[in-house]
Amino acid sequence: MSYRVRYTKTAREDLRRWYGLLLERDLPAARRAREVIGKSVELLREFPFTCRKPLSDNPFLREMVIPFGAAGYVALFEIEDNATVTILAIRYQREEDYH
């Protein structure tokens, strides 16, 4: 079974924010981050249930850790149904929480 992956407006804004911050400092790193995040999200098409649960009482809310450099990113997503995964937010691992 293959899931369709979609992004909320907030998740798209998160991606733009992180790409923009990296782009100001290091163009090659920004491109690598975009590629790594994209490849990681592709895994959700086949294996969304392999990611960790941030809340024990909601088995459909999950987090995917995306390694990149010294820290990386965390994508918060929800398995909507048997065909759709929705990425709700993406944060840098050293951030306090999702914005």
pLDDT class of 18 with cuts at 50, 70, 90: confident
Q: What are phi and psi of 81, to 5 degrees?
A: -160, -165
> What pLDDT, in 10s, does the model give residues 1-13?
799 999 999 999 9
> What pLDDT, in 10s, does the model give residues 46-86?
999 999 999 889 999 999 999 998 888 999 999 999 999 99
Residue-range domains of the chain with CATH = 4-92 (3.30.2310.20)
What pTM was estimated for this model as a whole? 0.88
Closest CA to 74 of 58, 84, 88, 56: 88
Q: Coil, strand or helix: which one is 29?
A: helix
